[in-house]
């Protein structure tokens, strides 16, 4: 007979409040939290008081609103220090490389750049610039495009307010940099959403192409992206095979970090 999981309402409600605050653009009133989570106001005020005392929530008395506190930020820092994305993603990227016979990598979005956390090289394949710790402009890479494609429009626009935001890859001649605009980026990202994967063809390294897919967290935010890089030209069947494998790996990692979809 299966044992039922013990129910701890206060713990569940506390975590629900913290998760709700983490998705807001700024501090919110306690009444709004109670309505959004369908909780009694008295319960919400009691839990907020405890979390405020422990530093997980900060109260703005003049605005009568609550936001995340320093202790919540420290949890985020601990998450970064423990590198769960890299630890969970590395075996998936290695299995992906074995499956398709091409080099693979895992990257996260840092502002307008992607930062590579995992790099797995396939035997007898060209060396890549996407080594661990390397940063590249997000709009030029398959991993970056996969993540940018799921950002809210306002967030995307804030990242790319004008032409100066579209930096060329470091080390590439400025004369070789394509003429990027926000309109062009939107068209590229529309194609990503239509196809379900992102691609780039020789924009990072001439003669090499990449296919990437986004890894979503529990609120649908782009936590990372996985990509495979291969030599061009590749026939349609081969590109489709790689795309499906990359999507499978990204979905698996999404599930492992708690995504619902």
Distance CA 208, CA 234 (A): 10
Q: Grade residue 95 by pLDDT with cuts at 50, 70 and 90.
A: very high
Determine, yes or no, domain membership for 1: no
Looking at 47, 76, 105, which one is the last position of a domain? 76
Average pLDDT over residues 158-181: 70
Q: Is residue 137, in this structure, part of any structural domain at all?
A: yes
| Whole-number Å distance between alpha carbons of 229 and 251 | 18
Q: How many domains does the chain have?
A: 2
Which of the four pLDDT bands, split at 50, 70 and 90, describes residue 124? confident
Task: Please state the rounded mean pLDDT for residues 113-138.
Answer: 83
Section 13-19 average pLDDT: 90
Check whether 6 has a pLDDT greater than 60: no
Residue 54 backbone phi and psi in degrees, to 5: -90, -5
Residue 50: the pLDDT is 93
**pLDDT at residue 183 is higher than 70:** yes
Give the model's confidence band at 169: pLDDT under 50 very low, under 70 low, under 90 confident, else very high: low
Task: Examine the fold and report which residue of 42, 76, 110 is the final residue of a domain before the chain moves on.
Answer: 76
The tens digit of pLDDT for each residue in 201-231 reads: 988 888 899 999 999 988 788 989 999 999 8
pTM here?
A: 0.69
For the cut 70, the answer to whether the pLDDT of residue 194 exceeds it is yes
Q: Is residue 180 part of a domain?
A: yes
Name the band, by pLDDT with cuts 50, 70 and 90, for residue 2: very low
Q: Are residues 32 and 99 in the same domain?
A: no
Domain carrying residue 174: 83-256
pLDDT of residue 79: 55
Q: How far is the CA of 60 from the CAs of 46, 63, 136, in angstroms?
A: 16, 6, 39
Same domain, 132 and 187: yes
- Report the share of the chain in percent with pLDDT over 70: 87
Q: Which of 117, 120, 81, 115 is nearest to 98 (CA)?
A: 120
**Mean pLDDT score across all residues of the chain:** 86
Considering the domain architecture, whether residues 182 and 114 belong to the same structural domain is answered as yes
The region of weakest confidence among 57-66, 131-140, 196-205 is 131-140
Strands (E), the chain: 57-60, 65-68, 103-110, 113-120, 135-137, 198-201, 208-216, 222-231
Q: Compute the distance between CA of residue 172 and CA of residue 232 in angstroms, rounded to an integer.
A: 20
More confident residue, 62 or 6: 62
What's the rounded mean pLDDT across residues 23-29?
A: 86
CATH number of the domain where residue 36 is located: 1.10.10.10
Is residue 26 domain-shared with residue 119, that is, in the same domain?
no
The answer on pLDDT for 8 being more than 80 is no
In tens, the pLDDT along 248-261 reads 999 999 999 887 65
Q: Which residue has the higher pLDDT, 110 or 14?
A: 14
| In a shared domain, residues 39 and 99 | no
Asked if 151 and 222 count as a contact pair (C-beta separation under 8 A), the reply is yes
The mean per-residue pLDDT over the stretch 37-46 comes to 94
Mean pLDDT, residues 226-245:
90
């Amino acid at each position: 007979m299966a044992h039922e999981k013990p129910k701890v309402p206060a713990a569940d409600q506390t975590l629900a409040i913290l998760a709700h605050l983490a998705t807001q653009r700024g501090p919110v009133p306690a009444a709004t939290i109670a309505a959004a989570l369908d909780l009694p106001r008295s319960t919400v005020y009691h839990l907020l008081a405890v979390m405020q005392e422990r530093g997980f929530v900060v109260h703005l008395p003049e605005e009568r609103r609550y936001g995340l506190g320093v202790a919540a930020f420290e949890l985020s820092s601990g998450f970064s220090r423990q590198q769960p994305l890299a630890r969970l993603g590395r075996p998936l990227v290695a299995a992906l490389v074995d499956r398709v016979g091409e080099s693979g990598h895992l990257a996260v979005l840092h502002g307008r750049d992607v930062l590579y956390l995992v790099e797995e090289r396939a035997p007898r394949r060209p060396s890549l610039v996407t080594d661990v710790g390397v940063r590249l402009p997000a709009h030029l890479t398959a991993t970056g495009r996969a993540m940018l494609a799921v950002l809210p429009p306002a967030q995307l626009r804030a990242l790319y307010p004008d032409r100066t935001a579209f930096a060329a890859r470091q080390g590439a001649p400025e004369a070789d940099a394509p003429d990027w605009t926000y309109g062009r980026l939107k068209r590229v990202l529309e194609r990503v959403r239509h196809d379900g994967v992102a691609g780039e063809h020789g924009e990072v390294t001439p003669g090499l192409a990449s296919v990437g897919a986004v890894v979503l967290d529990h609120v649908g935010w782009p936590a990372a992206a996985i990509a495979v890089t291969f030599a061009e030209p590749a026939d349609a069947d081969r590109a489709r095979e790689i795309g499906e494998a990359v999507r499978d790996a990204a979905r698996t990692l999404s599930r492992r970090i708690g995504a619902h979809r």
